[in-house]
Chain A
Amino acid sequence: GENVEQHPSTLSVQEGDSAVIKCTYSDSASNYFPWYKQELGKRPQLIIDIRSNVGEKKDQRIAVTLNKTAKHFSLHITETQPEDSAVYFCAASGRGSTLGRLYFGRGTQLTVWP
């Protein structure tokens, strides 16, 4: 099945700085890449996603880039705020009989210091 690697596992930034989280995937047929934010004790929430026919997508302070050739995608958060502190998970889609299934990275604990 798909294998998703996520780095770094922890990331600390000063408020106002940018944060970048990177993921790689193994299955070139994967075509959907969502990012989830999970605050302590809460549910994972979809914050942005990208499909394989698009190279970049932006939503206010959050952007995702996808390099299909290199099989990696990244989350970029600009002008970070303390409320951005959370665990962020990347994921990649399954295919064939596992269509609909998401393969998650191990997560990145982001801490934004005021």
Chain B
Amino acid sequence: DTEVTQTPKHLVMGMTNKKSLKCEQHMGHRAMYWYKQKAKKPPELMFVYSYEKLSINESVPSRFSPECPNSSLLNLHLHALQPEDSALYLCASSQETTVNYGYTFGSGTRLTVV
């Protein structure tokens, strides 16, 4: 299995809703990432998990809460989002963070906040 699987593919949520994005990989990668991408822009880093521990938080608002239950799973919990949070949320994984490796990106969750 050489893929990163993200669910759901599309999500529409109101500003008072709570939802979660899920990401799964079975490549044995020990680094997992959440990126946010707006149209025609590069991906922006949100969080990095290394060996299931949060290693980088790019000053992301607390309405985004990451969780790494095990080495294969990464969640992003969403609460009280704003319309400007609408974007494509990409999960990625790499072998580890002690040496730089290329990422494998998931297909993303297209989030719309109404």
Contact = CB atoms under 8 A, between A and B. Distances in A.
A42 B41 contact: no
Question: B interface, by DSSP: helix, strand, loop or mixed?
Answer: loop
Contacts of A100: 31, 48, 50, 55-56, 94, 96-98, 100
B64 interface: no
A93 B97 CA distance: 10
B54 to A, nearest CB: 12
A89 to B, nearest CB: 5
A102 interface: yes
A70 interface: no
Contact of B100 (A45, A97, A99): A99
A93 B103 contact: no
- Residue with the highest number of chain A CB atoms closer than 10 Å, among B43, B100, B101, B107: B100
A106 B103 contact: no
B105 A44 contact: yes
A108 to B, nearest CB: 11
Interface string A61-77: 00000000000000000
Nearest to B49: A100
B42 interface: yes
Interface string A87-99: 1010001100111
Contacts of B55: 100
Contact of B48 (A46, A101, A107): A101
A49 B43 contact: no
B71 to A, nearest CB: 15
Nearest to A33: B100
Contacts of A106: 41-42
24 contacts: A32-B100, A34-B102, A34-B103, A36-B105, A43-B105, A43-B106, A43-B107, A43-B108, A44-B43, A44-B90, A45-B105, A46-B103, A49-B102, A87-B40, A93-B100, A97-B56, A99-B98, A99-B99, A102-B103, A104-B42, A105-B42, A106-B41, A107-B40, A109-B40
Interface of A: 31-32, 34, 36, 42-46, 49, 87, 89, 93-94, 97-102, 104-107, 109
